[in-house]
């Protein structure tokens, strides 16, 4: 966070899911999940500037709304109305996280907005208070406020922080398709059965710093829907593994696929290989945060 008198800048990190299980469904339609969340070194940059009144949003992304539909605006309004902030704010979003890709890009921007405005207006709200606001915007927002490595249960808002996951180099590949989260969950409900990933085993592997234990337990039940509908996801996973990944998985509801590599050299070689094959629209080599 950088700060001059009236301006403040914050990074909003993307996440991947090392594990994602669906364990039930609530009457209101929400799914009960068990997820291992992991922040990665790919981030948006948000700049907040105090203003006389109103909430103004600008962005370098040509694809995002700048009005009330932007989660940044919803987060700012919720916080400012709940805590009676009378001043206004101008927020600029520099977008780097792929949109609608299963990396919680909107949720992390909302989380950074709650945190940024808490600082800008010196509200001194606790992380717990910010998380309570966050869950009203989206189930992943409380995790994005916490960051790092965490077990997320309930609808995603019941959080247990975990020690930092053992470091590998991460290759992230976003194919040139959009996947609707709603479509994925609806089709999952219609499906028969699926194999539950070993979330507890993953947690133990993280706690004991066992990278191989993590990579052999990567699992995401939502792949049962997306891999069938979008063959490029399976193809990306295969290519990542054949280029030496210790493990590969789709993140969230997709379509982003990541691979975990034992070295930066291997991950960069895999990136070059995927680039040549034209399987991904965007590729990033990064690490866990």
The residues that touch ligand ATP, with contacts defined as CB under 6 A, are: 64, 69-72, 99-107, 109, 140, 181, 252-253
CB of 103 to ligand ATP, least distance (A): 5
Give the Cα-Cα-Cα angle 256, 181, 142 (nearest 5 degrees).
85
105 or 247: whose CB is closer to ligand ATP?
105
CB of 35 to ligand ATP, least distance (A): 10
8 or 103: whose CB is closer to ligand ATP?
103
252 or 259: whose CB is closer to ligand ATP?
252
CB of 101 to ligand ATP, least distance (A): 5
Contact 120, 89 (CB under 8 A): yes
Q: Which residue is nearest to ligand ATP (CB)?
A: 106
As a whole number of angstroms, the distance between CA 25 and CA 28 comes to 8
CB of 104 to ligand ATP, least distance (A): 4
Catalytic residues: 15, 140
User: Which helix (H) or strand (E) segment is 82 a member of?
Assistant: helix 71-82
152 or 205: whose CB is closer to ligand ATP?
152
CB of 217 to ligand ATP, least distance (A): 20
CA torsion sign, 25 to 31 to 32 to 34?
A: positive
Q: Long-range contacts made by residues 226-234, C-beta under 8 angstroms, separation at least 24?
A: 226/179, 226/184, 226/250, 226/253, 226/254, 226/255, 229/187, 230/175, 230/177, 230/179, 230/254, 230/255, 232/175, 232/177, 232/279, 233/175, 233/257
Q: Helix, strand, or coil here: 223?
A: helix
Contact 241, 270 (CB under 8 A): no
26 or 272: whose CB is closer to ligand ATP?
26
């Amino acid at each position: 966070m950088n700060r001059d008198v009236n301006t403040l800048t914050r990074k909003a990190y993307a996440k991947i899911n090392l594990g994602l299980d669906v364990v039930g469904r609530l009457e209101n339609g929400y799914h009960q999940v068990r997820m291992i969340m992991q922040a990665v070194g790919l981030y948006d940059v948000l700049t907040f500037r105090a203003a006389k009144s109103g909430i103004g949003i600008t962005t370098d992304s040509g694809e995002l709304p700048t009005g009330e539909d932007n989660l940044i605006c919803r987060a700012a309004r919720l916080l400012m109305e709940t805590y009676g902030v009378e001043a206004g704010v101008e927020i600029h979003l520099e977008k780097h996280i792929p949109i609608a890709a299963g990396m919680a890009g909107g949720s992390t921007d909302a989380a950074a907005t709650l945190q940024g405005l808490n600082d800008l207006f010196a509200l001194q709200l606790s992380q717990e208070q910010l998380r309570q606001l966050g869950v009203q915007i989206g189930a992943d927002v409380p995790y994005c406020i916490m960051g790092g490595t965490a077990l997320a249960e309930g609808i995603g808002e019941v959080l247990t922080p975990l020690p930092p996951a053992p470091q590998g180099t991460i290759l992230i590949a976003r194919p040139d398709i959009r996947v609707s989260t709603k479509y994925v969950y609806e089709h999952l409900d219609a499906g028969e059965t699926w194999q539950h990933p070993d979330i507890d085993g993953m947690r133990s592997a993280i706690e004991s710093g066992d990278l191989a234990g993590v990579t052999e337990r990567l699992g995401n039940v939502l792949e049962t829907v997306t891999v069938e509908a979008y063959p490029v996801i399976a193809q990306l996973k295969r290519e990542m593994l054949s280029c030496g990944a210790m493990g590969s998985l789709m993140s969230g509801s997709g379509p982003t696929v990541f691979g975990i590599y034992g070295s930066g050299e291997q991950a960069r070689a895999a990136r070059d290989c995927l680039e040549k094959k034209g399987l991904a629209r965007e590729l990033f080599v990064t690490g866990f945060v």
